[in-house]
Amino acid sequence: MTDPKLVEKIVALCKRRGFVYPGSEIYGGLQGFYDYGPLGVAIKNNLKNLWWRWYTVEHENVVGIDGSIITHPRVWEASGHLENFVDPLSECKSCHKRFKVDDLSDQTKCLECGGLLMEPKNFNILMTTELGVVEGEKTKTYLRGEACQTIYLDFKNVVDSTRVKVPFGIVQIGKAFRNEVTPGNFLFRQREFEQWDLQWFTKPAEADKWFEYWKGERMKWYQSLFNDQTKLSFHQHEKLVHYAKKAFDINYDGREMEGIHLRADWDLSRHSKYSGQDLSYLDSETGGKYIPWIVETSGGVDRTFLFLLMDAYKEDGDRVFLKLNPKIAPHKVAVFPLVKNKPDLVELAHQIYKNLKLETNLTTTWDDRGNIGKRYFSQDEIGTPWCVTVDFQSLEDSSVTIRDRDTTKQERVKIEDLLSYFNLKLK
Ligand code: GAP
């Protein structure tokens, strides 16, 4: 990461305020695994809902699936992952620690004890598991190393059971697992993480056109969420992974957030061959059959979450605030009674809180602890865009103050206008 201090602050904030906790922490933790807390899961769900709606409602001809994490073991032979999903590692002859060749400046010397390193060997990063209960009869299989494989397995089912016609897309959000040799940088490189993928099936001759289309669309989507758009860029891959004919990343601050890949006919041809099933597509207009080519957009939900927090984190004197897009903020509104020892005032505030919180778009929270300044600071730190305070004037003229997280400016608004005020802001 470019600014390790910023990441440290975000890790601390995430733990303190319930965004993200280290996995299995009471047992000393487990490297590369994290749990999302109440506020973290709220952001993640908001993000996933926005993503899903953007593909399946705001675009044409895109349908969704939710596939299983464990698949037939042959899937990973067909996909090429058993052969190609490898990291070359060198093992120390003395302490037997293994190191990624890329991390070594001297490829002969152990980074840990200075011992002699053996010739590098390839280690597969697919995570294995076993199916069955009888010892000796268990079947070895794998947790999916990339979520998209289930989309290829369901391609024929989707074509046969729905009305999609090429060109069309299948989207999925789901977990993937990799035995990363060097997990780290908080959520950036984990062993269990979530991907959001589109697999777009097209006529081969139109694949380049669609590649450019989705590449542009994805960049626009990320731009709509980040404050500092200068940190978003494309990176073209010169060295290609085994399935790709062309690959670009969308980077945040020089780090990969999403891959756009032209996978061509690699996946459907290989699964046809290994499964013995015909996965070609019958063009009802021409009567011809062909294997559609695939354009993939494959992003990391956790990386997007992390980069959005990095983008949103702001310090203003003593005040820390998260300048999150209101659409993804965990709470949209916080409601406070100015004081908590005036029953009329508390009752009115509570009534407003109850009414707002029942609105689907308006996740609303309540706070009556400490003084008003502390409550503002506390909401700023978790990115709540608007705080509504019910004060003595509210009892007289049915108006409240709304305080804006980013400017700290306040305005008075009639209680009856609150809903339309927030809905307009969230458009
Ligand atoms: N289906 C293609 C595919 O999996 P990838 O570039 O290996 O491509 C796609 O992964 C995205 O998944 C990456 O851009 C990244 O955001 C996320 N990702 C990959 N490995 C990850 C890891 N170990 N931890 C967190 N996110 C990861």
pLDDT of residue 2: 59
Residue nearest to atom 4 of ligand 1 (CA): 146
Question: Quick one: pLDDT at residue 422?
Answer: 96
Q: Is the CB of 337 under 6 A from ligand 1?
A: no
Confirm or reject: Cβ of 155 under 6 Å from ligand 1. no
Helical axes 301-312 vs 38-56, angle rounded to 10° = 110
Helix (H) or strand (E) holding 357, with range, is: helix 343-357
- Amino acid, res. 389: T
Residue nearest to atom 20 of ligand 1 (CA): 189
Which mutation among 193, 198, 235, 306 tests ligand 1's pocket best, with the greatest number of atoms within 8 A of CB? 193
Residue 270 has pLDDT above 80, yes or no: yes
195 alpha carbon to ligand 1 midpoint, in Å? 7
For tokens 């299995």, the residue is 24
Q: What is the pTM of this model?
A: 0.95
Structure tokens at 203: 């006529």
Strand residue runs (E) in 69-207: 86-91, 98-100, 121-124, 127-131, 139-143, 168-177, 192-202
Interior/surface letters 327-361, b for 16+ CB within 10 angstroms, e for the rest: bbbbbbbbbbbbeeebeebbebbeebbeebbeeee
Write down the pLDDT at residue 404: 98
- d(CA 100, CA 261) in angstroms, rounded, equals 25
State the distance from the centre of ligand 1 to the C-alpha of 303, rounded, in angstroms: 9
Supply the pLDDT for residue 123. Answer: 87
Residue 233: its H or E element: strand 232-236
Tokens of 406: 């980013």
Could you tell me the pLDDT band of residue 85, with boundaries at 50, 70 and 90? confident
Q: Does the beta carbon of 149 lie inside 6 Å of ligand 1?
A: no
Whole-angstrom distance, CA of residue 297 vs CA of residue 165: 19
- The DSSP annotation for 362-423 comes to --EEE--SS-HHHHHHHHHHTT--EEEEE-HHHHHHSEEEEEETTT--EEEEEGGGHHHHHH
- The minimum-distance atom of ligand 1 relative to the CA of 243 is 2
Q: What is d(CA 60, CA 275) in angstroms, rounded to the nearest whole number?
A: 31
Atom of ligand 1 minimally distant from the CA of 146? 4
Residue matched to tokens 């559609």: 292
Q: What is the pLDDT of residues 218-269, one digit of tens each?
A: 999 999 999 999 999 999 999 998 999 999 999 999 999 999 999 999 999 9
Please check whether residue 258 is in contact with residue 300, taking contact to mean a CB–CB distance below 8 angstroms: yes
**218 CB near ligand 1 (under 6 Å):** no
Ligand 1 atom at shortest distance from the alpha carbon of 298 = 9
326 lines ligand 1 (CB under 6 A): no
**Ligand 1 contact via 299 beta carbon (within 6 Å):** yes
Q: Which protein residue's CA is at the shortest distance from atom 14 of ligand 1? A: 258
> 228 and 202 in contact (C-beta within 8 Å)?
no
Residue 182 has pLDDT above 90, yes or no: no
Phi and psi at residue 71, to the nearest 5°: -125, 175
Q: What is the distance in A from the centroid of ligand 1 to the CA of 261? A: 12
Going 110 to 115 to 120 to 126, the CA torsion angle's sign is negative
Q: Cα angle at 79 between 247 and 145, to 5 degrees?
A: 80
Q: Give residue 1's pLDDT.
A: 47
Pocket test for ligand 1, best of 256, 257, 301, 305 (most atoms within 8 A of CB): 256
Higher pLDDT, 135 or 174: 174
CA of 125 to the centre of ligand 1 (A): 13
Residue 199 and residue 173 in contact, taking contact as beta carbons nearer than 8 Å? no
Of the pLDDT bands very low, low, confident and very high (cuts 50, 70, 90), residue 50 is very high
Which residues fall within 8 angstroms of residue 22, CB to CB, at 6 or more apart?
15, 29, 33, 34, 35
The mean pLDDT value of the chain amounts to 96
Instruction: Say yes or no: CB of residue 190 within 6 Å of ligand 1.
Output: yes
Q: Identify the residue whose C-alpha is closest to ligand 1 atom 26.
A: 300
Distance 100 CA to ligand 1 centre (A): 18
Q: Extract the tokens encoding 321.
A: 């605030």
Q: pLDDT tens digits, residue range 89-100?
A: 999 999 988 898
Dump pLDDT digits (tens) for 324-367. Answer: 999 999 999 999 999 999 999 999 999 999 999 999 889 999 99
What distance in Å separates the CA atoms of residue 258 and residue 182, rounded to the nearest whole number?
A: 20
| Strands of the 98-100 sheet, one edge to the other | 98-100, 86-91, 121-124
Position with higher pLDDT, 411 vs 87: 411
Whether residue 35 has pLDDT greater than 50? yes
Residue nearest to atom 12 of ligand 1 (CA): 300
pLDDT attached to residue 102: 84
Tracing tokens 């009115």 back to the chain, one arrives at 348
State what percent of residues in the chain have pLDDT above 70.
100
Q: Is the pLDDT score of 276 beyond 70? A: yes
Report whether pLDDT(39) > 60: yes
Residue 137 — pLDDT band, cuts 50, 70, 90?
Answer: confident
Q: Is 192 in the pocket of ligand 1 (CB under 6 A)?
A: no
Q: How many other C-beta atoms can be found within 10 angstroms of the C-beta atom of residue 366?
A: 17
Q: Mean of the pLDDT values across residues 273-287?
A: 96
Over residues 164-188, the mean pLDDT reads 96
Name 305's Cβ contacts closer than 8 Å, sequence gap at least 6. Answer: 40, 43, 44, 47, 187
CB 301 within 8 A of CB 36: no
**Ligand 1 proximity of 174 Cβ (cutoff 6 Å):** no
For ligand 1, atom 5: residue with the closest CA: 259
Q: What is the largest CA-CA distance in the chain?
A: 81
